[in-house]
Amino acid sequence: MMLLKLIARKKIKTILAIVFVLCLFLFTFIIDTHDFVKRARVLTGHIVLDNITCYGDSSTNGSIDTFSIYETMNKTVSSKNIFFFQTNCFGSEGVVLKPRQLCAIESAALMNPNMSIYLLILSHSKFSNNTEDNVKMLLTNYNNIFIKRIYTNDYFKNTPLEDWWKSGVFYESYWPKSHMSDVLRFLTLWKVGGIYLDLDIVVKSSLENLTDFVGAEDAIDANAAVFGLGHTEIGRHVANMCIEDLRKNFRGDNWGNNGPGVITRVLQKLCSTKNVADMTTSKCQGFTVYPPSDFFPIPWKKWKLYFDAKEKNKTMDKIKNSRTIHLWNLHSKSERINVGDQVPYGIIANKYCPMTYNNCGKVF
């Protein structure tokens, strides 16, 4: 009897082990719905659930924007471009651009009338009704804003990242939307040249005369939320270095490795120093690393100052000479602002993205 019980227990353990493995397998699946597909994975205990189905589709029309009202990307050799990316894949609800994202685009267009401002999107959906109205408002009032779709399978062709993309290593990312933005910013400036900005930036001055630069976040790290690569010798050299670093060192399990990590590692090699504070233009062969006060005047740990009416005067004084402000959306996205609130972010938005701010409803 004891022997039978032991055998039975072993069978139960075996069955449970098989069930556990099957459950893990079932977690790695594609959920099909009428409108979209969600990719779910279990990676060392980390579940990724993101709609990234638009990443794998190829264009059948040479990546020409399917909306005839939008301009195609200027392919001439020019660095007078500013690029933003929206890497979400939207379903039947349509592409949604939030007021704060539209503010970033408008501020860039307002302060840089001689530059072309591009929003590149991956989703194949149409704009949601509200977003469509807001986009048309900006396109009507700013002749330097262009919106274009890109198709990743086409976009990576004939680039140093083509084989890397085909390998599928990207899909091991825990944060595919963020990491896609990282990859596309470096690839786009490698392909076209210009300036990349995050969608939680507000531009406060002209960036037209800036080339081959990045903003330091602190004494240790450069921040890829704002950087530019032109068609100069050093610009092309840094662009190639960034692409090569990304190809060799991409990590899907490290959130910052593929954005700020890339530009920081590249500059450490280029400038022969580990300390960002020591990266002078002469040490960096003509590449400029601007201090935090230029692009990130408020550090991420103090992001709430942008929403603090009591500290308004001190904050406004601290940011008055900065070229941009960075809202640290990862932390601030849920912080509410009522239109008209006398908080630093609201004051800045009213001045530098007035159409968006004054047409977004009661809440910005």
Summarize pLDDT for 323-339 with one digit per residue, the tens. 999 999 999 999 999 99
> What pLDDT does 125 receive?
86
Find, among 350, 345, 359, 351, the residue nearest to 140 by Cα: 359
CATH topology of domain 56-294: Spore Coat Polysaccharide Biosynthesis Protein SpsA; Chain A (3.90.550)
Residue 133 has pLDDT above 70, yes or no: yes
| Residue 321 pLDDT class (50, 70, 90 cuts) | very high
> What pLDDT does 70 receive?
35
Tell me the sheet residues that pair with 50.
39
The residue that leads in pLDDT, 22 or 305, is 305
The residue that leads in pLDDT, 347 or 32, is 347
Tell me the sheet residues that pair with 194.
229
> What pLDDT does 17 receive?
56
> What pLDDT does 93 receive?
86
Rounded to the nearest integer, the mean pLDDT of the chain is: 86
* DSSP per-residue letters across 264-286: HHHHHHHHT-S-GGG--TTTTTT
| Residue 26 pLDDT class (50, 70, 90 cuts) | very low
Give the whole-angstrom CA distance, residue 212 versus residue 232.
Answer: 8
The residue that leads in pLDDT, 51 or 196, is 196
Give the whole-angstrom CA distance, residue 137 versus residue 94.
Answer: 18
> What pLDDT does 201 receive?
99
Can you tell me the mean pLDDT for 275-283? 96
| Residue 65 pLDDT class (50, 70, 90 cuts) | low
Can you tell me the mean pLDDT for 153-180? 95
Give the whole-angstrom CA distance, residue 103 versus residue 1.
Answer: 76
Tokens matching residue 267 = 């500059």
> What pLDDT does 2 receive?
52
The residue that leads in pLDDT, 121 or 25, is 121
Residue 115 has pLDDT above 90, yes or no: yes
- Torsion angle, alpha carbons of 139, 82, 204, 283, to 10: 180
| Residue 91 pLDDT class (50, 70, 90 cuts) | confident
CB < 8 Å & 24+ apart, contacts of 97-100: 97/127, 97/131, 97/134, 97/135, 99/134, 99/356, 99/357, 99/360, 99/361, 99/364, 100/199, 100/200, 100/327, 100/329, 100/349, 100/364
> What pLDDT does 158 receive?
93
| Residue 198 pLDDT class (50, 70, 90 cuts) | very high
pTM: 0.84
| Residue 51 pLDDT class (50, 70, 90 cuts) | confident
| Residue 236 pLDDT class (50, 70, 90 cuts) | very high
| Residue 304 pLDDT class (50, 70, 90 cuts) | very high
Share of the chain above pLDDT 90, in %: 76
**Domain coordinates of the chain in residue numbers?**
56-294, 300-358
> What pLDDT does 354 receive?
99
Residue 44 has pLDDT above 70, yes or no: no
What residue type is 249 in one-letter code?
N
**Helical (H) or strand (E) element with 130:** helix 129-141
